[in-house]
Structure 1
Amino acid sequence: MKLKKPIKIILGVVVFLTLPTLLLFGFLYYKHHQDIPEGVQGKAADNLATKMLVALNYEAYQNTDYLEWTFKKRRHYKWEKTKSICEVFWKDYKIKLDLNDHSESKAYVHGFTIEGEMGEELIAKGQSYFKEDIFWLIAPFTVFDEGVTRQLVTLENNKKGLLVTYDNNASYLWHFDDSGKPKGFNMWDSKTPIDGLEASWNNWQVAETGVKLPTFHKVLFFGSEISHIKAD
């Protein structure tokens, strides 16, 4: 049976659009895919993690009560760290997150309180944004959090990397410059389409409290800017 002309055209368009995408993904997968390395837990891994924290002035981070930043020019955050409260802004929405008691979180549109199912959905979205975006700002400072493991990995260039694994099984292999400051990591997590994909950590900024925070990340061809950083 012969296919009708409109169906042929539709199939041709589908192939035209999907085939290059599949070929590109295959190329990127072949080029960037890495198996997660094996490392060694213990004092050496902890010492490397500590060196990273010192290089970024972890003491200043601990003494920072307030952080404000914008992620990718899309979402803005005002985090009262010591109070575990964060205001999340995007489009016309404002979400006030209570990070200790989510039932106390509030959602607003144009200054009006939104309750019910829509309010719950907005609060859940704000929580998700906060969890995802804050990682790209403060991930180095979480390496000694409860449930996190650290392993020392010997890299191909005989330098040392730090494999950090969280209780959700997400793992990140940190790479460092000579001062111990991070310059990037490889990722193995549920949201990364290619295991071992590398993200840069660079353009470090010294905030008002002395803590060093990144202002740019690059993954493949895509950049993520962190701007309007304020600390108190």
Structure 2
Amino acid sequence: MIRVRLLLFATLLAGGLLWTGCSSDSASDSEPVVSPTDTIAPETRADSVAYRLLQAHGMDAWASSPYLRFNFGFETPGGAQTIARHLWNRNTGEYRIEWSAGPDSSYVVLANIRDRQDGRLGGSVYLNGEELTGAAGETALEEAYGRFVNDTYWLLAPLKAFDPGVNRTYVPDSSTADHDVLHLTFDEVGRTPGDQYWLYVSTETGRLDRWAYHLQGMPEDAPPQFYDWTQYRELSAPGGTVRLASRKEAVGADQALLTNQLALPESPPEGAFSTPDPMLGSE
């Protein structure tokens, strides 16, 4: 596998905060349907900006989405490259991730992101259709979980501002007429709770236009890294429209991170969470 070194996104982001996904138990016809944003009562200016962010990106629609499909990769002047392909059953936690081990070799991991014991992900690993066990399989499962944490955060960060353990602060000195700026820090949750993020929320659209981050593993005096969130896609879901950026452009560098091939399918391909051979395409 070619590891991404030219950008800092190889580092696991956001402290490993997890989505629980949709509830598998739907409300009865006699019960009122409560949307996720209805359960939030903003108490501070930071909360209000974060709440507007959730609404602009379609939090309620996202909560109704049973499946998520996307690719994670990067682009430089030399071209674009896909690092991993993801398919997530948000109702059950079932997860499929594929990545290349070389020109003619591919890993397929079939796991359930809710199935973690002693911090380790449970599931099956296949290399070119053959199951891997032992240390090689455990290493691949750990890499798969790392990819899930890292890659989904690059895609879904605007929808995670109210996750448990997230601390929100409004940054008046950085805010402008065009953007409200939120500073996110984390309690002792996830893999890298020392990460910090600054979210530049458009005062016009409420969407995330830019973020900056200083990761736990970076030197304390290292400047934050900035990326513009661009090429927004509008995705239809049972509960409305979800808006997600498919491209993140590094500020001051000719390179970008890609979260593309976005889809919220109503159902997965046959065998999506059981077939050991690659099936998510070669985009």
TM-score, normalised via structure 2 length: 0.64
**How far apart in 2 are the matches of 1:181 and 1:196?**
21
Specify whether residues 70 and 191 from structure 1 end up closer, same or farther in structure 2 by C-alpha distance, changes over 3 A only: farther
Stretches of 4+ moved more than 2 A in 1? Answer: 155-160, 190-195
**How far apart in 2 are the matches of 1:208 and 1:158?**
32
Counterpart of 2:243 in structure 1 is 212
One-letter amino acid matched to 2:132:
I
One-letter amino acid matched to 2:109:
I
Residues 23-42 of structure 1 correspond to what in structure 2 (within 5 A)? 42=43
Q: Percent identity?
A: 20
**How far apart in 2 are the matches of 1:203 and 1:227?**
10
Counterpart of 1:27 in structure 2 is none
- The CA deviation string for residues 71-101 of structure 1, in whole angstroms up to 9 with x for no partner, is 1112100011121121110011001122111
**How far apart in 2 are the matches of 1:196 and 1:119?**
35
One-letter amino acid matched to 1:46:
D
Q: CA RMSD of the aligned region, Å?
A: 1.8
- For residue 105 of structure 1, the aligned residue among 119, 123, 140 is 123
How many residue pairs get aligned? The number is 192
Check whether the contact 1:189–1:195 (CA below 8 A) recurs between aligned residues.
no
Counterpart of 1:43 in structure 2 is 44
- For residue 142 of structure 1, the aligned residue among 144, 157, 160 is 160
Counterpart of 1:228 in structure 2 is 261
Counterpart of 1:163 in structure 2 is 183
Check whether the contact 2:122–2:141 (CA below 8 A) recurs between aligned residues.
no
TM-score, normalised via structure 1 length: 0.77
**How far apart in 2 are the matches of 1:89 and 1:140?**
25
Residues 1-232 of structure 1 correspond to what in structure 2 (within 5 A)? 42-72=43-73, 73-91=82-100, 92-102=106-116, 104-156=122-174, 158-159=176-177, 160-167=180-187, 168-177=193-202, 178-191=204-217, 194-209=222-237, 210-219=241-250, 220-221=252-253, 222-232=255-265
User: Gaps (5+ residues) in structure 2?
Assistant: 1-41, 74-81, 101-105, 188-192, 266-283
**How far apart in 1 are the matches of 2:87 and 2:44?**
36
Counterpart of 2:33 in structure 1 is none
Check whether the contact 1:97–1:127 (CA below 8 A) recurs between aligned residues.
no
Query: More displaced, 186-195 or 149-158?
Result: 186-195
Larger radius of gyration: 1
Check whether the contact 1:164–1:172 (CA below 8 A) recurs between aligned residues.
yes
User: Gaps (5+ residues) in structure 1?
Assistant: 1-40
Specify whether residues 50 and 157 from structure 1 end up closer, same or farther in structure 2 by C-alpha distance, changes over 3 A only: closer
Between structures 1 and 2, the one with greater strand share: 2
**How far apart in 1 are the matches of 2:257 and 2:60?**
26
Specify whether residues 130 and 191 from structure 1 end up closer, same or farther in structure 2 by C-alpha distance, changes over 3 A only: farther
